[in-house]
Structure 1
Amino acid sequence: MMAALACVAACQARTETRETRRADSLDFPALVPRGAADSALARPRVVGEPSVVLFWLRAADTLNAGDQSDAFDDLKYYTEQVAPALEANGIKLLATNADTVYVALPKHGRRMIVLSGLDYPYGYLLIDPGGPERILTGVYADDELMDELRAYFDLPEDSTAAQPRITT
C-alpha cells in the first residue's frame, strides 16, 4: 500500500508550494521499527507510552488518486510541523496502516482501539496509556493539531522550548 502511495505521489504534478513544503521533511520510514518492511505497518501496534499514532488505513484506497495524494501530502506536512513539539515533550510519533491499535495495560493486559469505520480512513490517534484515547480523523492544520495535542497531553503553550540543562 505504501509503495502504491509513493508511486501515486511521485507521478502527480506538484505545485511550487508543495515542493517548498517538502524541503524540511519528516522521515516517515523512521516511524517504523528498524528492519521492518512495509508489511510491518499493517500489523497492529502495541503502545505503552504517550504517543501520537498517524494512521492511514486501506479504506483510503477508495479516494481518487488526486484526493488520496493531496490528503497524504497534507497529513505528512502538518505532522512535520508538530513533530518537534512531540519530541521535546517525550511523546512518541508512530505510524500504522492497521485497523487496530492496542494500548498496553498493567499485568500484560491490552485495550483494543478500532480505527476502521471512522469518518475518514486517516488521521491521528492520541494515546496516553493512563487515560482514554482521542481519535482525530482527517487532516488537521498544524495550529489546530497543536491545540488538540496541548489539550490532550496538557502541554505548555510553548511546547517546543528546550529543557534547561543543569550544570554543576
Structure 2
Amino acid sequence: MTLENYERAKEYFEAAEAKLQEDLEGDLCDSKLSSYVITMRYNLARCLEHLCLFEDAEVLYKGILREQENYTDCYLRLGCLARDRGQIYESSVWFKEAMSVGKEGSVINVYSLSCRLSSMAGHLPACVIDNGTGYTKLGYAGNCEPQFIIPSAIAVKDKIASSNAAALRWNTSTG
C-alpha cells in the first residue's frame, strides 16, 4: 500500500468514525455501534502508524484502553511502539499487561516475546519450539539455546519455525 493510499484510508476511517459517533449519540445504549467505533479507532491508529504519526496512534490506543481495557491488540501495539523507540522496559510493561488481560495467553506470550527478540537481535527469524514439556522455548534459528522459556498452553511435540529457519531445526529431545 502506498503512502497516498494510507492518507486516503485515514480520511475514510475518520469519516466513518464521525458517522458512527453521530449514530451512537442518537442511541446511547447500542453496544454494537460502540464496538464499531472502537474498532474504527483501532484501524485509524494502525493507519496513523503507517503514516509515521506514532504519537497520534499512541493517543488513540490509550483512548481505546480507557473505554475498553481488555483490548489486547492495543497493549501489543503500544508495546511495539515503545520497542521501536528503543524503550525496551516500557515495551515489556505493555506486553506484560497484554498477557494479563489476554484470553489466548500463550499466543500473546509468543507474539510479544518475538517482538522483543526481533528488536534486540537484528530481526533474525524467530523459532518457537514446544518439546512436549508444557513449556514453549522461543529463540532464534541458529542459536544453540532458546532466548526465553515460557509456559505453554499446548504441550505437543512439535516445532514451528519461520520459512528462513526451516533448515535450522533444534533437536527437541535435548530439552
Task: Report TM bin, short chain.
Answer: under 0.3
Higher strand share: 1
TM-score (norm 1): 0.26
After TM superposition, the score normalised by the length of structure 2 is 0.25
Larger Rg: 2
Which one has the bigger helix percentage? Answer: 2
Structure with the larger RCO, 1 or 2 (CA within 8 Å, 6+ apart): 1
